[in-house]
Amino acid sequence: MRTSRLLNAAALAAAAAALTAAPAYAGSGGLEVYPANATAGATVTVNTTACGAARTAAGDASAVGAGTFVLAPGTHAKDAEGRFQVPPSAQPGTYEIVAKCSGGGQVTGDLIVALTSSSDQVPPKGHVKTGVGGALGTDPAKTAAGVAALAVAAAGGTWLLHRRARGEGI
């Protein structure tokens, strides 16, 4: 009885550990595809931090006709990175790129193949809203110090006037 209860507790603990570990493993980002909008013939870079310490994965871009490729540790910590070329014959559309981590689990990302290149993309227009005026405030520390200094001056002035009124001279 005691043994089975212990076993149950152990199983529960393991399940809890698996539950908490699983999202951290698979949930730390999907497969980042760059450029997400590519033209036929372009080289696409994918990377992910989801493969954990192994940092290697088997990439699959067969959906777009680019076959398989390898993701190896990238220039970034915790990053697995790989490249493939979109076939020149690729048709416009959205394709799912898959990376199977060598330690288990897989991530996916979308690649959009467009007719026109990204240099034909719409540029932004107009000004950019990059501030709210929060740095324009006054300086409360200096203001407080100024008030304190003026209080000292007032006290000194009062004392001097008081002495003078008593005829003690300055």
Partner 1 sequence: MPQAPRRRVRSGLIAAVTALALCLGAWLLHQGTETHGPPQPSAAQAASAHPGTGHEPPGAAPLSSSPPDRIRIPSIRVDAPLMGLGLTPQGSLDVPPPQEKNLAGWYEAGTAPGVRGTAVVAGHVDNADGPAVFYDLGALTKGRTIEVDRRDGSVAVFTVDAVEVYDASAFPDKKVYGAADRPELRVITCGGGYSKQTGYRGNVVVFAHLTGSR
Binding site for partner 1 (CB under 8 A): 34-37, 43, 45, 47, 74-76, 81, 118-119, 121-153, 156-157, 159-160, 163, 168-170
Instruction: Compute the least distance from the CB of residue 20 to partner 1, in Å.
Output: 27
Nearer to partner 1, 26 or 42 (CB): 42
Residue 9 C-beta: closest distance to partner 1, Å: 43
Q: What is the dihedral of CA 17, 22, 27, 30, to 10 degrees?
A: 160
Beta bridge partners of 43: 85
Give the residue from 66, 46, 42, 67 showing the smallest Cα distance to 57.
46
Measure the CA–CA gap between 58 and 106, rounded to whole angstroms: 9
Q: How far is the CB of 163 from partner 1 (least distance, A)?
A: 7
- Taking the least distance from each CB to partner 1, the nearer of 79 and 96 is 79
Whole-number minimum distance, CB 2 to partner 1, in Å? Answer: 53
| Structure-derived torsion over alpha carbons of residues 111, 116, 117, 123, reported in degrees to the nearest 10 | -100
